Amino acid sequence: MRGVISRTAGSGRRLAGLGNGKQGQAALSTAARPADETGLDANAMMTPGSPAADLHEAAGAAGHWSVTVHADRIRRALRPASRLSAALRKRLVAAAGSLREHWVRSLQLRVVGTTLVLSGAVVTVLGLFLMQYIASDVLQADATRTGSVAAEGLQTAEAMPWVRSSPGSGTRGQIYQLLHQLQVQAPGLGNYGMAVLIAQPRQEYAALTAGGRLGIPSAQSLPTPLTDKVSQLQGHGIQNKLSYQLTSINNYPGSGAPVTTGFAYGVPLGNYYQLYYFFPLSDEQRSLDQVQLIMMLAGLALVVLLALIASLVTRWVVVPVRQAASGAQRLRAGNLQERMAVRGSDELAALATSFNEMAASLQDKMQQLEDLTLGQRQFVSDVSHELRTPLTTIKCAAEVIFASRAELDPAAARSAELLLSQLERFESLLADLLEISKHDANVATLDPEPVDVCDLVRNAADVAQQLAERRGAKIEFRLPAEPCVAEVDPRRVERIMRNLLVNAVEHGDGKGTLVTVAGDSGAVAVAVRDHGVGLRPGEEHLVFDRFWRADPARARSTGGTGLGLSIALEDARLHGGWLEAWGECGRGSLFRLTLPRAAGALLEGSPLSLIPDEAELADGAAGLAGLPLDGEGGGAAGLAGLPLDGDGKAGPGSLPLDGHDIEAGAGSAPGTGAVPDE
Amino acid sequence: MKGRVLVVDDDAALAEMLGIVLRGEGFEPTFVADGDRAMDVFRDSRPDLVLLDLMLPGLDGIDVCRQIRAESGVPIVMLTAKSDTVDVVLGLESGADDYIVKPFQSKVLIARVRARLRRTDDPAPEMLQIGDVSIDVAGHSVTRVGVPLNLTPLEFDLLVALARKPRQVFTREVLLEQVWGYRHAADTRLVNVHVQRLRAKIEKDPERPEVVVTVRGVGYKAGPG
């Protein structure tokens, strides 16, 4: 069969070429015939009454045929597609990125895509199987039909007396007569052809059909394996043995196509003749093609429909999930009223219900927190009032007693002094505690107005001046000539400055304190520099901790509350400003307050350097080693970077301490004495 | 110096203590502990100054302040435990001239009381004019286009301070010292609130003031330009 088919393949356009695919043959059990078989059935005896055995074989051959049809079809269909993909490769590669993005992000796309591929595969396999089945069925029916026609024809031919004698002069006419009779015998069977070959003494092509209108064009058109087989049978004296082969004939009359495929039957007719039939399969091919087309269209439609259904079904699932996702996002954004619509009682409804319950519980918690905050605020307010009123009475009483201490005995007089001074300490501690609890409760409010920061610095200096005078120290001011107006809360900024100044004088070891004010377009900065004990590495952060003391053994001479710098930090933060510290052991420290000029503006840098100039100048490399001028590396630990811009940035990387910053600090206010240069 | 002081405070101990301090300085204190009775006692005692606690049982301190201000320009000094912006501004807006945050020193209280009671004994006859507002300093009266304006003594002092040096810009700190008698700078909200109150009475359009003008970032001055 292989040989036949491959031969026909060379000339075949319609059916013949379809025989090339061996893989299709191998894949099907019904086609599990040895490859060397020619398709000629040597053993099947065709008798008029029982053609079934041979026809079964014919059906087997048809099985091969139909499968190879499809394998080749697919390959042919794929060939232009691969050429197309080569042309589109560039665009496909470009699209692949976005497609992958979508693929990863969209569940719907993944489901639809997977459905398309899987259902496509299933439909293809099913289609192939069905086509194979239908084709084998059609061929089997055809073989049955044509086989019986051929057997009947043989019977008629054998009844002719001349078939037993060798060809003579009248033989040709007799053959034509026979063929005519055969044609009349089975009309309406379509475009089939007949031929009688005069096999002895030499192969001579005798006739086709009556009138030559129908039939096999020449003896050469007959497949050689078939004629060989028939000759062999004739040689062995075996008669009545019908052989057949699926073959193609060129220029078959009545068929428009150059090549016609069909069943060829051959049988020895006496000792001298051979009878051949050819039944073209054009009609079957046409109907099979139609079936194939319909199945392909149906398969395509099925796949598309499945994809649509998958898309629709996924949508049912995905849309509520998407709604839940966006709802959760809105929740996160603070819209606590966000709820999902609950429909039915399925899993999605359960999702919506759970989501809503979560949102409700979140809302409850938030409400509780809000109530708590409100309660805290009220508590702070109440404590403030409740404590302050008796404290006022005690204070006034202590003052009255203190005023008349001259009349008291020494112990009582001293007690009056202690009472008054400790009352003052208690009072400032209470005030600081209340202040910091307000910050903690987030109830501290900013009351900004445009003021000259220099004025605030001068106002705040009073207390520190008195303290400094007592210690024989001086506070030096380097203020710019023009006002440094910024939108700040004067009460809070004054408090920050008071804290910084008192702190500087307290830890200044009686040495001078330098206060520098400078401004640029976006910010105003105040630096308070002392020359006291300074800070150890790492303490730059600790100084802002509540009740932190540089040296626990060291007495707090001024009776500060230990909350001053913490409150100052909170106040700076409330302004969206920075409060940072720098310090070195034995070289004093520097506190820098940077505030945005406009309330609520974001700080980008400070007009003043956090690292005092003289620290760099004093002892060159040794001093520089510890100064991370590039704003990177672990050296930043030597500096107190507390960026208070509220965006969560922390650590050395966010310190506004790069070279640019330092330059800006040095160069922003030339001639205003902004830079310490002692 | 006149020295009748009405102490409106529900805390008996503090009220008594205030009494001791005030008497020690030569004032004559009267007391009322209840907001509802405050107006009756005020009308009876006709004090020269009111020390008013903001948190009172019955009628709230703010309301008492408003009622007193509706009847009289007598100086009112609030005693408040809350230095929060809202409370203080609310108190000042309801008509208080000054406020003291508890706990305070007795000498601070006395200084504030004295500052509020301080009046120039015999002011020289002096007429001032800003825009269409005329001020008779000696007669303690202010008129706008002949229509008399009812100012409290504090508002009057503020206006006179500004009007005496027209076109000179006063910082809030300077005004606090001249009008309120603060030696050191205190809460500048006092100035802001009272300038607002003053404007509400003397300006044709308080939104676009012409008599008391704000100089942004510095302070206030009298007269346009």
What's the rounded Cα separation, in Å, for the pair A371 and A482?
Answer: 47
User: Which of A392, A394, A457, A459 is the best residue to mutate to test the B interface, defined by the most B CB atoms within 10 Å of its own CB?
Assistant: A392
Region B158-184: mean pLDDT is 85
Q: What percent of chain B has pLDDT over 70?
A: 92
Residue A255: what pLDDT? 67
| pLDDT at residue B162 tops 80 | yes
**Four-residue CA torsion sign, B15, B19, B20, B22:** positive
Q: Which residues of A touch chain B, with CB atoms under 8 Å apart?
A: 381, 384-385, 388-397, 399-400, 427, 445, 447, 449-452, 455, 459, 462, 483, 485, 490-491
Phi/psi at A382 (5° precision)? -65, -50
Q: How far is CA B102 from CA A72, A388, A417, B20, B48, in A?
A: 101, 6, 21, 17, 22
pTM: 0.50
pLDDT of residue A56: 37
Which chain B positions have a beta carbon within 8 Å of A449's beta carbon? 188, 192
Put simply, the answer to whether A395 touches B104 (Cβ < 8 Å) is: yes
CB contact under 8 A, B217 and A452: yes
* Bridging pattern class, strands B4-8 and B49-53: parallel
Using a CB-CB cut-off of 8 Å, the residues of chain A touching B188 are 449, 490
> CA nearest B172 in A: which residue?
A451
Helix or strand run (H / E) with residue B200: helix B189-202
pLDDT value, residue A507? 84
Is B20 close to A400, i.e. CB distance below 8 A? yes
Cross-chain residue pair A400–B24, CB shorter than 8 Å: yes
CA A378/CA A603 separation, integer angstroms? 33
pLDDT along chain A (678 residues), means of 10: 33 35 35 36 37 37 38 49 69 83 83 89 91 88 84 84 76 77 67 71 50 58 82 82 83 73 84 82 81 90 90 84 84 81 82 87 88 78 78 91 90 91 86 82 81 88 85 88 89 90 85 89 91 85 83 59 87 91 87 90 86 59 38 38 38 37 36 35
- The mean predicted confidence, pLDDT, of chain B is 86
- Closest CA of chain B from A312, distance in Å: 59
Q: Which residues of A touch B18 (CB under 8 A)?
A: 396
Chain A contacts of B101, Cβ < 8 Å?
388
The whole-number pLDDT of residue B22 equals 93
Question: Tokens 């004295």 belong to which residue?
Answer: B114
pLDDT at A33: 37
Q: Give the residue-averaged pLDDT of B205-214.
A: 88
What whole-number distance in Å separates Cα of residue A619 and Cα of residue A586? 13
User: pLDDT tens digits for A183-211?
Assistant: 777 655 566 777 777 766 555 555 444 34
Query: What confidence score (pLDDT) does residue A26 get?
Result: 34
Note the pLDDT of residue B136: 87
Q: Are A453 and A595 in contact (CB under 8 A)?
A: yes
Check: complex ipTM more than 0.85: no
Residue A68: per-residue pLDDT: 38
Q: Considering CB atoms only, which of B103, B106, B107 is closest to A388?
A: B103
